């Protein structure tokens, strides 16, 4: 009986660790670590498409390590 309990708990723990690992891979910080950036407008709203911006807008880009600001020169709608 004790070994069955132990086996059950080991399976549950392994599943928990598997789920935790999957969630960590999807975290925004993990995505930034793969070379992506989050870009925000001057009001700290996340930019999802170029149509949200116009030339002259100031943006802030958050990277895996650090951030920077930039001024939009040109936008292109790829749709």
For residue 79, the model assigns a pLDDT of 64
> What is the edge-to-edge ordering of all strands in the sheet holding 38-40?
38-40, 58-62, 67-71
For residue 25, the model assigns a pLDDT of 81
Which residue ranges in the chain fall short of pLDDT 70? 79
For residue 61, the model assigns a pLDDT of 97
For residue 43, the model assigns a pLDDT of 96
For residue 29, the model assigns a pLDDT of 82
pLDDT digits (tens, 9 = 90+) for 31-49: 888 899 999 999 999 999 9
CA nearest neighbour of 73 among 59, 61, 55, 51:
55
């Amino acid at each position: 009986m004790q070994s069955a309990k132990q086996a059950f708990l080991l399976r549950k723990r392994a599943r928990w660790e598997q789920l935790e690992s999957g969630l960590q891979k999807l975290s925004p910080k993990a995505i930034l670590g793969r070379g992506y950036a989050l870009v925000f407008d001057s009001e700290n709203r996340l930019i999802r498409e170029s149509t949200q911006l116009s030339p002259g807008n100031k943006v802030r880009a958050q990277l895996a390590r650090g951030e920077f600001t930039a001024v939009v020169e040109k936008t292109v709608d790829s749709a």
